[in-house]
Amino acid sequence: MPRYTIRRGLAMTPEMRDRLAQLVSKQPRNVTEADLIRQAIRQYLDEQEDLIGSRKHFQKSLRERVDQLEATLTFHLNVLIHLLASDETQLREAIIATKEDGETLLAQMRAVRELKESGD
C-alpha cells in the first residue's frame, strides 16, 4: 500500500461535502473520503494530455511515434520484398504495390492494436 506523506487542505461547499459523503456511503467500508479525493485527483491528472510529463501524454506521444516508425519500417520491408521478388526494371511497380500492400498491413495492425487496447 502506498504511503501518503504529503498533506493538503481544501475547502469545499456544503453541497460538495454532502455529495462526497453520499458517494462514500455507497463504497465498501474500507474506502474513505480521502481515498475518493485521491482517486479524483489521480484521474484528473491522468487525463491532462496537454500536461507535459503526464503518463497519458507520454503514452499518446510514444504510441504516435511507434506508429510512425512502424509505417516507415513496413513500407521499406515491403519494398525490399517486392524488389527481391522482381527484377530491377520493375522498381516503380514494386514501390506502388508496396504502398498498397503496406496500407492494408498497417490497417490490420491498427485493428489488432485497437482490439488489444479495448480489452485492457
Residue 101 CB coordination number (10 Å)? 15
Phi, psi of 12 (to 5 degrees): -145, 165
Instruction: Kindly write down the DSSP assignment for every residue of 69-85, as one continuous string.
Output: HHHHHHHHHHHHHHHHH
Nearest to 51 by CA among 16, 59, 109: 59
**When comparing pLDDT for 63 and 117, which is higher?**
63
pLDDT of residue 55: 67
Q: What is the pLDDT of residues 90-107, one digit of tens each?
A: 666 666 777 777 777 677
Task: Report the C-alpha gap between 25 and 102 in whole angstroms.
Answer: 54
- pLDDT tens, position by position, 26-44: 999 999 999 999 999 988 8
The model's pTM: 0.42
The domain locations on the chain are 14-46, 55-119
What are the grid coordinates assigned to 30, written together? 474500507
Which range (2-6, 71-75, 104-108) has the least confidence? 104-108
